[in-house]
């Protein structure tokens, strides 16, 4: 995905947040994963994209 598409999808997901942590957990996880892709970030010392950080 290109950067603008990732940013657009993140903003779209943020509008779906309710403020209830239990209801928002799945959406926040999706946002976290997209932000990691956008920034090209992986957990330290890990070749796994997100398994290493436990998210």
pTM of the predicted model as reported, rounded to 2 decimal places: 0.71
Among 35, 29, 28, 27, residue whose Cα is nearest residue 8:
35
What digits encode the pLDDT tens for the residues 1-15? 588 899 999 999 999
- 3-state SS, residue 20: coil
pLDDT of residue 36: 87
What digits encode the pLDDT tens for the residues 16-54? 999 999 999 999 999 998 998 888 876 655 555 555 555
* CA dihedral for 39, 47, 22, 9, sign (positive or negative): positive
Residue 51 tokens, joined: 């398994």
């Amino acid at each position: 995905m290109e950067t603008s598409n990732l940013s657009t999808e993140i903003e779209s997901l943020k509008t779906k947040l309710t403020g209830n942590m239990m209801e928002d957990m799945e959406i926040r996880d999706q946002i976290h994963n997209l932000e990691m892709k956008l920034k090209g970030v992986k957990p330290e010392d890990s070749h796994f994209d997100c398994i290493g950080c436990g998210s």
